[in-house]
Structure 1
Amino acid sequence: MGNKVIVSNRLDGAVLAILPKFIGDAINTLPALALLKQLYPTQRICILVRPHLTEIFSRASQYGLEIISDDRHCRKKHRGLYGMASQLKHQNFALAVLFRGSLTDAVLAKLAGIKNVIGYAQNARRPFLSHAFKLDQCHHYIYRYCKLVNDAHGRPFTHFSSPKLTAQPSTLTLSETQCNVALYLGGKVKGTRYYPEHLAIQVVQHISTLKNINIFLLGDQSEQSDMASLSSLALRQNVSVHNLAGSMSLAELVDNIGAMDAIVSIDSGPMHIASACDVPCVAIVGHGTSPWSLVAPKTDKLIALTHQSTSLNELDMIQDVSPEKIYHALSTLLSEHC
């Protein structure tokens, strides 16, 4: 393998994992973190995460992780690279696993005095890594993360588990006699992944014809105006929806998705949250930030609707997934799981 195998029971000190910055990518590191916990059952497993992601991992307590906010990215108490390295240096980390391809993260681990640093040899990082591996761009993201841990430790594992989040009881008033369905269709800020309003309203109309259905719209603060417009369109069509866009913390988003009977989502964070919470999901896949095969959730409760567009305009691709296809896929999921 080209690297000296790390023997976990000979390592004295805590373990640090530096996580990706996006919700879905961060959730996909959970199986690799579970492998680390098996290798180091009595040691601290700490995760360095962007401040906005700390709430996500408050719903992952079963992994036994200690959360450290990456204050390099915090406006209120910003730390520079050296300040963050100084904070980490005092925590006796014996091992760091870099789940991002960032050169800065590799430098951070070096400045923090961490002897064993595992990561992919990309972006000029090799000199800062004690265990450098070649990245196979064809591997699924979950596989990539688990492979880092497994290969560095002599490949003791043959399989990994799927990501799991544990939702707490939702504060939403949900009907026990209705099927509760959430829609995350994105806002214009999502670019080519945004499901346009003229099609989104048709999805809402189709779904509203299902018997005993309760519809919720999801979105963050940047998508509030888009969801308010969609909600108004629905009201003019005499369709009742609950617009939750911009009103939830990330922890509450996990809880609310976890309380749903099903969700319809574009290729984004809520899709990964649904999968990790074992909630059936219809995924609408247009032109994404990564190839679909590399990020598709590993669950049998997912129906992925991928586009077959021949348009040379990337914005057109997601529009190839028709409202009728989404309606039929959701109906199938509800009949199987609701």
Structure 2
Amino acid sequence: MKKILIFNPSYMGDSILTTPLIKALKLKLPESYIAFCVRPENVDLFEGVDFIDEVIAFDKRGADSGLGGAISFAKKLREKNFDLVISPHMSFRTSLVLALSKIPERLGFVESKMSFIYTMSCAKDLTYHEVERYILLYDRLFSEYPKDRIKPSVFHDEKLSDKFRAELGDKLVGINPGSVWETKKWPAENFAAVADMLKDKGYTPVIIGSEADRPEVDKLLEAAKYDHINFCGKSPLRELPSLISTFEYLVTNDSGPMHIAVSTGVPCVAIFGPTVRSLGFYPYDDESKIAEIEGLPCRPCGKHGSKKCPEKHFKCMLEILPENVVTLFDVVSHIEVARVPKFKTEKVD
């Protein structure tokens, strides 16, 4: 039995987008043992996924930080006797850990720091979605690309979903105003307006977020004209996919919950400000839509966003209006609309 390690201890979304690669490997090598290395805060999303045999936490900002932590963690990996490691992650620290782990076969991207430590490598084609970029590593290993499109996966407890449905009712729409990046946050007052408009359409908005998102959620609730269901801080990450799966749709910033929604089959209206589709992290489905301002020369201003708008005008977010987002929602929910907004600083009639 071949023991394989998939190494991507990155942000939540990046780890979620790695799961199609893992599933493709499991389908190709069903008798293999596959472990997935992620950040400790993301472990709960993947434990219990049927094609992942083990989830390993790499606490690179805590217990495993620094040179000593890297050496110690590499020793732990070495003791697990993996035959092959595949690393979508491209940092210097990752390459150092994997070199020290002495796993016999190491596959990564040519663009990785210290890429010479890999025994096999391939180029990361940035014209692809991030899911498909990762699967290029599969193609390098087997000289073939999976025939079928594989969507991302997270752990999802259907019994818990049933419990949420019984508690919250039907026609639920998730509202996610949070993000770890300040410039990825559409104004909370705009989310409030969208929630109110969806309420007027007969939907039940459910506000979600972690405790870190509490300030944005409080602003939203204060600005809203209705008392919306507030699930901020009430659902731990382990339960979040089960909650999101009960939604008919999710209105969200460009963030981890967006990828969780796609993983559970929930279409999104995703609001992209400093980021753009060409970065490769848009919703990996055919139903979701992106609200964005096209034609701004300052977009994108970074891969992940930042603390403040570098141009000090924040047009990429401020010029997206609640009416624009609701019009896109109508498209996603298959309501006939007179005109799909172009998002070039125009207001929908």
TM range (shorter): 0.7 to 0.9
Counterparts of 2:65 and 2:24, CA distance in 1? 32
Looking at structure 1, the residues matched to 168 and 230 of structure 2 have their Cα atoms a distance apart, in angstroms, of 19
Could you list the structure 1 runs, at least 4 aligned residues long, displaced by more than 6 angstroms after superposition.
76-79
Does residue 1:165 correspond to 2:157, yes or no? Answer: no
Distance 1:276 1:178 in 2: 20
| Aligned residue among 184, 188, 209 for 1:197 | 188
- 1:225 deviates by 1.7
Alpha-carbon shift at residue 175 of structure 1 (Å): 6.1
Change (3 A) 1:135 1:335: closer
Judged with a 3 Å threshold, the aligned counterparts in structure 2 of structure 1 residues 19 and 219 are, in CA distance, closer, same or farther, namely same
- 1:219 is paired with a residue whose SS is coil
Deviation at 1:124, TM superposition (A): 3.6
What is the aligned partner in structure 2 of residue 326 from structure 1? Answer: 325
- TM-score for both structures, normalised by structure 1: 0.85
Aligned to 2:272: 285
Higher relative contact order (CA 8 A, sep 6+): 1
1:246 maps to which of 230, 233, 238 = 233
Alignment of 1:55-70 (within 5 A): 55-58=44-47, 61-70=49-58
1:297 aligns with 2:297: no
Instruction: State whether residues 203 and 323 of structure 1, in contact with CA within 8 Å, keep that contact through their aligned partners in structure 2.
Output: yes
Deviations 1:301-323 (A, max 9, x none): 21222223648546220222211
Q: Which amino acid aligns with 1:321?
A: I
1:206 to 197, 204, 219: 197
Alignment check: 8 A CA contact 1:96 1:118 kept: yes
Amino acid paired to 2:54: E
Please give the per-residue CA displacement for 1:172-201, whole angstroms capped at 9, x wherever unaligned: 3656764111101225x5222111133222
Q: Distance in 1 between matches of 2:150 and 2:170?
A: 32
* CA deviation string 1:132-182 (max 9, x = no partner): 222222222111110012212222634441213352123536567641111
Name the structure 2 match of 1:233: 223
* Aligned residue identity for 1:165: V
> Letter of the aligned partner of 1:269 in structure 2?
G
3-state SS of paired residue (1:80): helix
**317-326 or 255-264, which deviates more:** 317-326
**What is the CA–CA distance in structure 2 between the aligned matches of 1:105 and 1:94, rounded to whole Å?**
17
Relative to structure 1, the CA distance from residue 284 to residue 72 in structure 2 (aligned partners, 3 Å threshold; closer, same or farther) is closer
- Residues 173, 205 of structure 2: 8 Å contact kept: yes
CA distance in 2, matches of 1:225, 1:75: 29
CA shift in 2, pair 1:198/1:323, >3 Å: same
- Give structure 2 stretches of 5+ with no counterpart: 299-310, 336-349
Corresponding position: 1:274 with 2:261: yes
1:308 equivalenced with 2:294 (yes/no): yes
Aligned residue pair count: 318
Name the % identity. Answer: 22
TM norm structure 2? 0.83
Check 1:90–1:175 CA distance in 2 against 1; reply closer, same or farther (3 A cut). closer
Match of 1:101 among 76, 90, 100: 90
Q: Report the counterpart of residue 6 of structure 1 in structure 2.
A: none
AA at the equivalent of 2:265: D
1:63-102: CA deviation from partner (whole Å, max 9, x where unpaired):
2331111144445999711111111111111100011111
CA distance in 2, matches of 1:297, 1:54: 21
Aligned ranges 1:17-36 → 2 under 5 Å: 17-36=6-25
SS of equivalent residue, structure 1 residue 297: coil
- Segments of structure 1 that go 5 or more residues without pairing to the other structure are 1-11
| CA RMSD, 1 decimal | 2.5
Aligned 1:108-257 pairs, distance under 5 A: 108-155=97-144, 157-168=146-157, 169-170=160-161, 171-172=163-164, 174=166, 178-186=170-178, 189-211=180-202, 213-234=203-224, 237=225, 239-257=226-244
For 1:215 and 1:52, how far apart are their aligned partners in 2?
A: 27
Contact 2:250 2:266 (8 Å CA) reproduced: yes
Please state how far the C-alpha of 1:118 moved relative to its aligned partner: 0.4
Does the 8 Å CA contact 1:309/1:316 hold for their aligned counterparts?
A: no
